[in-house]
Chains A and B, each alone.
Chain A
Amino acid sequence: DQQVKQNSPSLSVQEGRISILNCDYTNSMFDYFLWYKKYPAEGPTFLISISSIKDKNEDGRFTVFLNKSAKHLSLHIVPSQPGDSAVYFCAAIPAQGAQKLVFGQGTRLTINP
């Protein structure tokens, strides 16, 4: 039972363009969402997060959008840079879930020069 789904295993984007990574969830009790970035042979690194009381959070080139009615969130990276090439994981925490992260399967982003 995959509660957090990233349906695109991979995404290829031209350098300088916008990268959009998508994530869907099924559990309406999730109230906090995070994006992690992972390079090969390294652990996931926290990127950006959003609370369910917001619909947008922005940090430099990274913006996360949350659509609670659709149970969907997305990560926008603009402009995309070669160093953004990595696997991106969406994760969610349920209300009263005591910091228990539920991860999606990940999307491998490749930025082409």
Chain B
Amino acid sequence: EAGVVQSPRYKIIEKKQPVAFWCNPISGHNTLYWYLQNLGQGPELLIRYENEEAVDDSQLPKDRFSAERLKGVDSTLKIQPAELGDSAVYLCASSSQGYNEQFFGPGTRLTVL
């Protein structure tokens, strides 16, 4: 069974530029999460989807961040414009409905110069 796939693995951009991350969850997992992980910290939830519906986006900075999960499978997280403080690892995870265990992808390491 394939795991959670994320791309790109690494991204370097200049501040004020836009950037997008893509995630493909484990097949059959209807719940998808985007997390932000700063250096030396644990992951922090940005947004959670149940199928194509964003059911928890309370931690998503909506002035510059947006996300979508069309057709309830793949998801894209976008930042526009990026700021220096956005440099971090962006993790995608998925889980089956009713199960607590979440399965993580390898993450995208973003560096904003």
Contacts and interface: CB of A to CB of B under 8 A. Distances in A.
A28 B45 CA distance: 20
B43 A44 contact: yes
B44 A103 contact: yes
A44 B45 contact: no
B104 A99 contact: no
B85 interface: no
Contact of B42 (A98, A100, A106): A106
A46 B56 contact: no
Contacts of B4: 43
A91 B31 contact: no
A49 B42 contact: no
B101 A42 contact: no
B65 interface: no
Given A105-B41, A106-B41, A106-B42, A100 B56 contact: yes
Interface string A1-33: 000100001000000000000000000000010
Chain A interface extent, by class = 20 to 34
Contacts of A98: 48, 55-56
Given A89-B42, A105-B40, A99 B95 contact: yes
A104 B41 CA distance: 7
A86 interface: no
Contacts of A42: 106-107
Nearest to B9: A41
* Residue among B55, B102, B105 having the largest count of chain A Cβ atoms under 10 Å: B102
A49 B102 CA distance: 11
Contacts of A4: 42
A44 B56 contact: no
Interface of A: 4, 9, 32, 34, 36, 41-46, 49, 89, 91, 93, 98-101, 103-106
Interface of B: 4, 9, 31, 33, 40-45, 48, 55-56, 91, 93, 95, 99-107
Top 3 nearest A-B pairs (CB, nearest first) are: A103-B42, A43-B104, A44-B104
